[in-house]
Amino acid sequence: MTNPLLETWETPFGLPPFDRIEDAHFAPAIEAAMVEGLAEVELIAINPEPPTFENTIEGLMRTGASLDRVLGVFYNLAGADSTDAREEIMREFSPKLAAHSAAIYGNQALFSRIEQVWLARDALDLTPEKARVLMLTHRGFVRAGAALMGGDAARMKEIKGRLATLGTQFGQNLLADERDWQRALSEDELEGLPGFVINAVRAAGKERGAGGPVLTLSRSVIVPFLQFCPNRALREEAWRAWVARGENGGKTDNRDVAAEILGLRHERAQLLGYDDFASYKLETEMAKTPDAVRGLLMEVWEPAKARALEDAALLEERMRADGVNGPLQAWDWRYYSEARRREEFALNEAELKPYLQLERMIEAAFSCAHRLFGLAFKPLDVPLYHGDARAWEVTRDGQHVAVFVGDYFARASKRSGAWCSTMRSQRKFPDVQGPIVVNICNFAKGDPALLSYDDARTLFHEFGHALHQMLSDVSYEMISGTSVARDFVELPSQLYEHWLEVPEVLQEFATHADTGEPMPREMLDKVLAAATYDMGFQTVEYVASALVDLAFHEGEPPADPMSEQTRVLTDLGLPQAIVMRHATPHFAHVFTGDGYSSGYYSYMWSEVMDADAFEAFEEAGGAFDAEMAEKLERFILSAGGSEEADVLYTKFRGRMPGVEALLKGRGLAA
């Protein structure tokens, strides 16, 4: 049969032909593309010509195009619309793809050519961008183990294959626990819930064919349920199911998986000559060392914990006033915190949500991008992988920039959370390609779909990542868009969240779902005043997770990660009614791949910069200052990984920031 994944796509903007792609196409396409890719690499390795930047480094950039294209489609579908067949393909090909990568990085003839170009770099008269690409290529091969020989090289290959299998297993176990748990709700159990929560559980029941409302473990459903459900026993039941993901025993339990991953990462780092995995991982980040990471996190931990303990005492008073004795528990926090917020700010999320329509918030994100960067968004009528997904052509001054795909609603086939990915990254070499950028979210369906303020912030956050991809303007894909240090990659996304809080943006786009009236100024003022409300809780649950992640990867790996988690949290004095944002068995950031391993701190590292960067706009002409927007695009968004992150930020701001702007922005400054 013909395989559309292996054809040239004669489609608008080179989009994947989703109306022709079937699950049966993926395995043969991946197999064929791997064979083709290795053959392309081997031609470079055996080239009799002396190695040059052009025939070796740029030659390498030309290889693997078919595999990149196939995997760009597959991985997007595997995360956003999983099926049994796609999960089986993931399990089958994760170790095969790891072996494929190991074969490239372990090709001694290829590495010898790269090494020769590297040693001759000073005589090559390379442009700064080419010099950067050469450095990253050489460093990437060394860090992947290309210089290892004999038994060490063989063991590295084994470790990579096993880690790929385990990361896939961890993610699929988590998805299974999230997909399989549901709690039917009686009509009596809906009492006291606001309309948007009732609509969400009814929609979840309909999506799952349950014949009535059901509670699921989707964050967009369970968090508001915990905020508003007056039934304490039901809150506890729901909360316990939510935090037990990945540790329910049986075949989906992730505790042993996490332990094996940590042990293999440590061994991998030691094979490469590092003391531990944290030292290996952080060497290429802005932070550089575990001590620098811990220093930042502890600067924030103490004021955040102090605020959280103050808040806990106030919430416990409210609980006692309800006639509930005993200490405040984790399943009580959101409920009593929401009640306190309603009282202190006269701000009721049930009254706020109708002003935060999904469609209007998408318009708001687009409008800000137009005002800042001149981008325009035109809906596209093209086949996509799911009925919920939508596409827009992105242009500037009439010229094509990118295709943007938004997939916003929660469903059982989609893994939890929110993320930005690409089906094609920006590049000019070997050919000019407009990127295809995807934002995935997990919002509750409704008619119309209404967002919480946190949901709206998530939408802006992921769109900030999308802008980093769409506005990238470099020659080589390996330094394109979000291909930057992990603790720098969250700067554009977290910075873009600030535009949601610009009063003129909310006044224009926060309009009531029924009346069309703009959000009243009084409510807008309350929203902005409450922006740092409950920040002690939010900061503590995040920093606790980041410190546990760091402890897992520094020094000898723990034989029992759960015991190590308990030790770290006990030493920190984690308030009794707060848990980690991501406990070990469902810490997907850290265990489904290496991306955020020993790097979960990076959100806060980037936040130091994003708070300072938005201050730059405020110090200039305001949120839409044209000169600052131009500098943001030139030095951050378009530059990708073409220079070191601290160099790029200093070019934008004139200096590196301190933690003061972050503490001020979170309302935690003394």
| 92 in catalytic set | no
Q: Angle CA(82)–CA(419)–CA(611) in degrees, nearest 5?
A: 165
What is the CB neighbour count within 10 angstroms for residue 430?
A: 14
Name residue 443's amino acid: F
Check if 4-105+107-143 and 354-533 are the same fold. Answer: no
**pLDDT in the model for residue 427:** 96
Q: What is the pLDDT of residues 579-614, one digit of tens each?
A: 999 999 999 999 999 989 999 999 999 999 999 999
Q: Is the pTM of this model over 0.85?
A: yes
pLDDT in tens, 71-106: 999 999 999 999 999 999 999 999 999 999 999 999
Residue that the structure tokens 């690499």 belong to: 41
| Residue 164 pLDDT level (bands cut at 50, 70, 90) | very high
User: Catalytic one among 462, 477, 490, 564?
Assistant: 462
Please give the pLDDT value at position 446.
Answer: 87
Q: What is the 3-state secondary structure (H, E, C) of 515-568?
A: CCCECCHHHHHHHHHHHHCCHHHHHHHHHHHHHHHHHHHCCCCCCCHHHHHHHH
Selecting from 1.10.3720.10, 3.40.50.970, 3.40.50.20, 1.10.1370.40, what CATH number does the domain 354-533 have?
Answer: 1.10.1370.40
**Amino acid (one-letter) located at 199:** N
pLDDT value of residue 347: 85
- CA 289/CA 310 separation, integer angstroms: 33
pLDDT tens for each residue of 288-316 = 999 999 999 999 999 999 999 999 999 99
Ramachandran class of 288: left when φ > 0, alpha when ψ lies in -120 to 50, beta otherwise: left
- Using 50, 70 and 90 to split pLDDT, how confident is the model at 284? very high
In eight-state DSSP terms, residue 483 is -
Helix (H) or strand (E) holding 401: strand 399-409
Q: Give the residue among 589, 608, 610, 591 at the shortest CA–CA distance from 600.
A: 589
pLDDT at 658: 87
pLDDT for res 669: 85
Question: Strand order of the sheet with strand 390-396?
Answer: 375-380, 390-396, 399-409, 436-443, 419-424
Q: Residues, the chain, total?
A: 670
pLDDT band per the 50, 70, 90 thresholds, residue 348: confident
Q: What angle do CA 354, 356, 361 make, to 5 degrees?
A: 150
Question: How large is the angle between the packed helices 84-105 and 23-45, nearest 10 degrees?
Answer: 0
Centre a 10 Å sphere on the Cβ of residue 286 and count the other Cβ atoms it contains: 22
Residue-averaged pLDDT of the chain: 96
The pLDDT value given to residue 109: 97
Position 439 pLDDT exceeds 90: yes
**Spatial distance between the Cα atoms of 137 and 41, rounded to a whole number of angstroms:** 14
pLDDT given for residue 563 in this prediction: 98
pLDDT in tens, 21-75: 999 999 999 999 999 999 999 999 999 999 999 999 999 999 999 999 999 999 9
Helix (H) or strand (E) holding 399: strand 399-409
Q: What DSSP line would sit under 570-597, residue for residue? A: HHHT--TT---SS-GGG-HHHHSSSTTT
Which superfamily is assigned to 4-105+107-143 in CATH?
Answer: Endopeptidase. Chain P; domain 1 (1.20.1050.40)
d(CA 507, CA 500): 10
Q: How confident is the model at residue 245 (pLDDT cuts 50, 70, 90)?
A: very high
Instruction: Tell me if 632 sits within 8 A of 616, measured CB to CB.
Output: no
DSSP string computed for 145-194: TTT--HHHHHHHHHHHHHHHHHHHHHHHHHHHHHHH--EE--TGGGTT--
> Per-residue pLDDT averaged across 108-136, rounded?
98
Which DSSP string do the residues of 6-59 spell out, in sequence order? GS---SGGG---TTT--HHHHHHHHHHHHHHHHHHHHHHHT--SPP-IIIIIIH
pLDDT of 670 above 80: no
Percent of the chain with pLDDT over 90: 94
Query: Which residues does 608 contact at the CB level (< 8 Å), separation at least 6?
Result: 296, 657, 658, 659, 661, 662
Domain ranges of the chain: 4-105+107-143, 181-244, 354-533
CB 204 within 8 A of CB 216: yes
